[in-house]
């Protein structure tokens, strides 16, 4: 049996999978925000409850927002900032009494979609998450690519390619720079752009509904979003050339993207054609926790 844990900023979700992907047990609890020790205890309790429900003991994989530094062995790049600088894998192994595999949550998303999701059967799956932030994970033959510095897939903190004059220097990013892809192509970036155009603060789904109803400002924000996302994705396609691009996160639910986006990527790809499928996730919000379990597959 494989146990997966998806450690998010607001919830911690756990799942037990059989070797063929059948869900044996599933639970979630609220994340004790700001309290690292309480988070470790919550995960230990969650695993114990899942295993009791399934009646089996399993391997444990954990997806986290961030990564374990190869230099220090401590958590880095986590937007759940109370985890930064902590020996998370060692603390989890002590609490659970077994070896634990820890991976970036975007990589878990990519693994899930590569193993039995929208990218099943593809050798190189690029899983792009367009939510509150913008990140991605890479799975090769169903395995997460962490990279030498444990930052593979961190395209959100590259600068927006080929910026126009009105896009410079770009919005400030929490990483300390300006004009990161994340500030433009995340759901948050989409909402910010609409707010700057109209003075109205609306959630992304409401802006999309306005666009569908013919609202000009919403359409302009969507067209700008498409253009920026196309440029950003193409810059990675030119390096990675994946077999498939699987979108996740809140913006991935905008159905128009799958028809409109390929033509916005193609002009920036260094090839005479762009035929890479751009598809919606299969497992949705479950991809992270399933991918964490598959870390042991």
Q: Is residue 197 part of a domain?
A: yes
Whole-angstrom Cα distance, residue 179 to residue 129? 18
- Quick: pLDDT tens for 100-126: 999 999 999 999 999 999 999 999 999
Do 136 and 269 belong to one domain? Answer: yes
Which among 123, 131, 119, 129 has a CA at the least distance from the CA of 277?
119
Q: Is the domain of 137 the same as that of 273? A: yes
Co-location of 81 and 209 in the same domain:
no
The secondary structure of residue 251, as a DSSP letter, is: G
- Pairwise CA distance, residues 65 & 70, whole Å: 16
CATH code, domain carrying 82: 3.30.420.40
Query: Within this chain, do residues 166 and 248 fall inside the same structural domain, yes or no?
Result: yes
Block residue for tokens 């937007």: 79
Token pair, residue 220, equals: 């302009």
Greatest distance between any 2 Cα atoms in the chain = 61
- pLDDT over 90 at 65, yes or no: no
For the chain, the domain total comes to 2
Q: Is 73 left (phi over 0), alpha (psi -120 to 50) or beta?
A: left
pLDDT of residue 77: 86
CA dist 209 and 278 (Å) reads 22
Q: What does the block give as tokens for 14?
A: 């756990």
Within a 10 A sphere around the Cβ of 27, how many other Cβ atoms? 15
Domain match, 12 and 103 both = yes
- Spatial distance between the Cα atoms of 189 and 185, rounded to a whole number of angstroms: 6
Give the dihedral sign, CA 266/120/109/218: positive
Rg of the chain on CA atoms, in Å: 19
Angle 156-157-163 (CA atoms, 0-180°, nearest 5)? Answer: 85
- Which segments of 177-287 are extended strands (E)? 244-248, 278-280
Question: H or E element: which one contains 6?
Answer: strand 2-7
Rounded to whole angstroms, the Cα distance separating 231 from 142 reads 27
pLDDT value of residue 79: 73
- Calculate mean pLDDT across residues 64-71: 91
Residue 232 belongs to a domain: yes
Name the one residue in this structure whose structure tokens are 């306005």. 210
- The string of pLDDT tens digits covering residues 6-20 is 998 788 999 999 988
Q: Compute the distance between CA of residue 213 and CA of residue 244 in angstroms, rounded to an integer.
A: 31
Nearest Cα residue to 105 out of 292, 269, 294? 292
Number of neighbouring beta carbons within 10 Å of residue 197: 14
44 and 62 fall within a common domain: yes
pLDDT of 81 > 90? The answer is no
Check whether residue 82 and residue 220 sit in a common domain.
no
Question: Closest by alpha carbon to 295, among 22, 108, 20, 51?
Answer: 108
Range of the domain at 262: 120-281
Name the pairing type of β-strands 75-76 and 244-248.
Answer: unpaired
| pLDDT number for residue 118 | 97
> Is 115 inside any structural domain?
no
Residue 181: the pLDDT is 97
Q: What is the pLDDT of residue 269?
A: 98
Confidence grade of residue 75 (pLDDT, cut at 50, 70, 90): very high
pLDDT in tens, 172-199: 998 899 999 999 999 999 999 999 999 9
pTM of the model: 0.90
The phi, psi pair for 213, rounded to 5°, reads -85, 0
Mean pLDDT on 255-269? 98
Do 39 and 133 share a domain, yes or no? no
């Amino acid at each position: 049996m494989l146990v997966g844990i998806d450690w998010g900023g607001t919830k911690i979700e756990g799942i037990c999978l059989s070797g063929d992907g059948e869900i044996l047990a599933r639970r979630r609890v609220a994340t004790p925000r700001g309290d690292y020790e309480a988070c470790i205890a919550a995960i230990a309790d969650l695993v114990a409850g899942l295993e009791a429900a399934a009646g089996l003991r399993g391997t444990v994989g954990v997806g986290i927002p961030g990564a374990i530094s190869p230099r220090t062995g401590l958590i880095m790049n986590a937007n759940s900032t109370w985890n930064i600088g902590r020996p998370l894998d060692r603390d989890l192994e002590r609490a659970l009494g077994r070896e634990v595999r820890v991976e970036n949550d975007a990589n878990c998303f990519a693994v899930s979609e590569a193993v039995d999701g929208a990218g099943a059967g593809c050798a190189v799956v690029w899983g792009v998450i367009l939510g509150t932030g913008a990140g991605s994970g890479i799975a090769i033959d169903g395995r997460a690519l962490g990279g030498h510095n444990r930052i593979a897939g961190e395209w959100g903190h590259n600068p927006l390619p080929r910026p126009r004059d009105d896009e410079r220097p770009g919005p400030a990013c929490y990483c300390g720079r300006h004009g990161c892809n994340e500030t433009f192509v995340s759901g948050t970036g989409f909402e910010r752009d609409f707010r700057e155009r109209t003075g109205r603060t609306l959630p992304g789904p409401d802006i999309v509904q306005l666009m569908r109803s013919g609202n000009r400002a919403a359409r302009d924000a969507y067209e700008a979003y498409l253009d920026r996302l196309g440029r950003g994705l193409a810059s990675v396609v030119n390096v990675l050339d994946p077999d498939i691009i699987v979108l996740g996160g809140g913006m991935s639910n905008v159905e128009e993207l799958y028809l409109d986006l390929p033509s916005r990527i193609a002009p920036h790809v260094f090839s005479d054609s762009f035929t890479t499928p751009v598809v919606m996730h299969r497992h949705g919000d479950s991809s992270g926790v399933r991918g964490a379990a598959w870390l042991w597959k």
